[in-house]
Amino acid sequence: MRDLDGRIFLSASDLMRFMGCAHASALDLAHLRGTGPEPREDNEDAALLQKQGDAHEAAHLARLKEAGRTVIEIERSGLGKNAEATRAALAAGVDVVFQGAFLSGKWGGWSDFLERVERPSAFGPFSYEVTDTKLKRRPHPKHVLQLVLYSDLLTEIQGTAPEFAYVELGDGTRATLRLSDYAAYARMAQARLEGFVADPPPTRPIPCADCGLCRWGDHCADGRNLVEEHIL
Ligand code: SF4
């Protein structure tokens, strides 16, 4: 979640967090508006996971280069500037764009890899599909949210909807997802988050699978205990 010139932009991470715990999104929003608590620093588990994720991503990048594919890496700066550079790289027909950026409507963010396929688009006889790297052994429903979002944003640029998206998994296999199988679910989730941000309902901390790595874990602890006591 970021505020660009007074407008709130949402990312795939925001969407995944919201679908795991709406209270986390409420706290993100309050923090962005300067009315909420401060989040804690990443704990050791989160930092280790991030490090392993970065290494997994770097390994896929190295494999693409070793295979002789031309790669343009978008150096991170402002999201708008990066989105323009991404558009130019895609139009030029490079094999792979690493860290490609999107910004459209209320949504934006940086994808892992955009890989060229020989399927016509507004660019010419080629277009792109989204590949993400994840440490899991199989795709999680949250990954689908990210892949559909970036594929939709990519569609706006290239004028052709990608048919597939991919996850390079932690065990070295590659999962292929047919986007039309998941688009309705992912777009419903996007609409729900947009509605939530426009008019946030009351939320409370309820224990869930995301709590262990959540940056609001310390803040929620007291409230969560209260909820648990109430349930027990
Ligand atoms: S710590 Fe748990 S309950 Fe609190 S915001 Fe994070 S995921 Fe939600």
pLDDT at 228: 46
Please tell me which residue, 128 or 213, carries the higher pLDDT value.
128
Residues 6+ apart with CB under 8 A from 225: none
Q: Could you tell me the domains of the chain? A: 2-231 (3.90.320)
Are the C-beta atoms of 174 and 166 separated by less than 8 Å? yes
Cα–Cα distance, 143 to 169 (Å, whole number) = 11
Which contacts qualify for 197-202: CB closer than 8 Å, 24 or more apart?
197/1, 197/8, 197/10, 197/25, 197/29, 200/25, 200/26, 200/29, 201/22
Q: Specify the range with the lowest mean pLDDT, choosing from 20-24, 27-31, 34-38, 186-190.
A: 34-38
Bridge partners of 108, per DSSP, are: 103
Q: What is the residue-averaged pLDDT of the chain? A: 92
The answer, yes or no, to whether residue 187 has pLDDT greater than 60, is yes
Task: Calculate the alpha carbon distances from 66 to 59, 70, 75, 174 in Å.
Answer: 10, 10, 21, 17
Measuring from atom 2 of ligand 1, which residue has the nearest CA? Answer: 211
The answer, yes or no, to whether residue 226 has pLDDT greater than 50, is no
Measuring from atom 7 of ligand 1, which residue has the nearest CA? Answer: 211
Q: Residues 32-68: pLDDT tens digits?
A: 999 988 998 877 888 888 899 999 999 999 999 999 9
Q: How far is the CA of 119 from the centre of ligand 1 (A)?
A: 42
- Looking at ligand 1, which atom is closest to the CA of residue 206? 3
Cα–Cα distance, 11 to 106 (Å, whole number) = 9
pLDDT at 229: 42
pLDDT at 220: 92
pLDDT at 223: 67
